[in-house]
A = this chain, B = another copy of it.
């Protein structure tokens, strides 16, 4: 294989923090990045070759992006699979992962069905279009339920819990944005059983040119359905880690096209017997992302290859890098803790910059908004030896350190 100069160009739909970190990872490999984003001067802009301000479904702008690129990819599910498919076909520029994968994952009902059809367990689910549908699902699956918009949700947006039959109307409207439940389209929503999981896990899987691999299992901590912190190794049993890896590799195997995929998982308690579908086991698939994912940011410092470098390699069809962990790693997101939008400014960063083993990532977003992901920090131990998997006390300590450092900073 030959590397030229300039190297290949990766066209990325989306120029947010994921596009920025893709750009940061592409540089050392000699790969150039051009990004398309509706926001002028998006986070990726200062670290990539160029950005284009255009809507995600702007076919002309995408065609121009393709003309500058050797491969197209996307870092946001808001990318339009139909337009990407047409542009890819018209220009001959490969799109990875395949637009069909984006289309499948972009509809949570189809995503769930595909996972279950592949024999992988998921919380039981069904489509709903009316309060009566929701109540019928409650009768069948029990309460609580989670009601989800099938498309466009992220970070908890588009999700609404249903605790009792009386919540059906409000949840249906909240998740779909409808004023009246009668206005909810037939194909807009689904419910799934809300399972009493013991912990949440995530595995970044990767599909390269004829090869699949997965990064070590991460434990994820959410609050209000937004990822707050992660730690790897996950504080669970070797058997669960092995099963999580198997499930993630099976998920990746059912998806078309190359790239990195985030597989979010629920680990159920040993004695659980909740309504599930698709297969047996205590490790259930929650959601899939067809791109690098927040639960994999720890790999930048924590693994031999970062998920971003891996996505660059995979989408270009290059050999994959080693997914092994370099050291235990904890991560805390820097979420906008403000009541309303204001110019971005973070106080107290010297505490993070000066902390041994800590790394600060600041995404360069202009405006702090409530719970917006503005950056993250990671922590590896001062000692450089890997902690044996199963040393939960060490993982606890590392996670606490990440949280302490996060608490040292505040948004101005």
A325 to B27 CA separation, bound complex (whole angstroms): 23
Q: Could you tell me if A6 and B386 are in contact, using CB atoms closer than 8 angstroms?
A: no
Contacts of A384 in B (CB 8 A): 324-327, 384-386
A382 to B386 CA separation, bound complex (whole angstroms): 12
Q: Could you tell me if B412 and A2 are in contact, using CB atoms closer than 8 angstroms?
A: yes
Contacts of A325 in B (CB 8 A): 384
Q: Could you tell me if B28 and A24 are in contact, using CB atoms closer than 8 angstroms?
A: yes
Contact of A357 among B49, B322, B361 (CB under 8 A): B322
Instruction: Say which size band chain A's interface belongs to.
Output: 35 or more
Q: Could you tell me if B386 and A7 are in contact, using CB atoms closer than 8 angstroms?
A: no
The list of the 10 closest CB pairs from A to B, nearest first, reads A30-B362, A319-B354, A5-B344, A1-B350, A27-B47, A319-B353, A46-B49, A24-B27, A32-B46, A3-B346
Contact of A375 among B2, B30, B324 (CB under 8 A): B30
Give the copy number.
2
What are 23 residue pairs bridging A and B, where the CB atoms are less than 8 Å apart in the complex? A2-B346, A2-B349, A3-B362, A4-B345, A5-B363, A23-B47, A24-B47, A28-B361, A28-B362, A30-B361, A30-B362, A30-B363, A33-B46, A45-B49, A46-B49, A47-B47, A47-B48, A321-B353, A324-B356, A326-B326, A384-B384, A385-B385, A385-B386
Q: Is A313 among interface residues, defined by CB-CB distance under 8 A?
A: yes
Contacts of A1 in B (CB 8 A): 347-350, 353
Binary interface encoding of chain A residues 161-199 relative to chain B, with 1 for a CB under 8 A from any of its CBs, else 0: 000000000000000000000000000000000000000
Measured CB to CB, the residues of A under 8 A from B are 1-7, 20-21, 23-24, 27-30, 32-33, 45-49, 300, 304, 313, 318-322, 324-327, 343-350, 353-354, 356-357, 359-366, 374-375, 380, 382, 384-386, 412
Contacts of A24 in B (CB 8 A): 24, 27-28, 47
A322 to B321 CA separation, bound complex (whole angstroms): 26
The residue of chain B having its C-beta at the shortest distance from the C-beta of A34 within the complex is B46
A348 to B3 CA separation, bound complex (whole angstroms): 8
Contacts of A304 in B (CB 8 A): 356-357, 380
Contacts of A348 in B (CB 8 A): 1
A360 to B30 CA separation, bound complex (whole angstroms): 9
The residue of chain B having its C-beta at the shortest distance from the C-beta of A353 within the complex is B319
Contacts A362-B7, A384-B326, A386-B384 hold; do A27 and B46 have CB atoms under 8 A apart?
yes
Expressed in whole angstroms, the minimum distance between the Cβ of A33 and any Cβ of chain B is 8
Expressed in whole angstroms, the minimum distance between the Cβ of A104 and any Cβ of chain B is 29
The residue of chain B having its C-beta at the shortest distance from the C-beta of A352 within the complex is B319
Q: Could you tell me if B321 and A3 are in contact, using CB atoms closer than 8 angstroms?
A: no
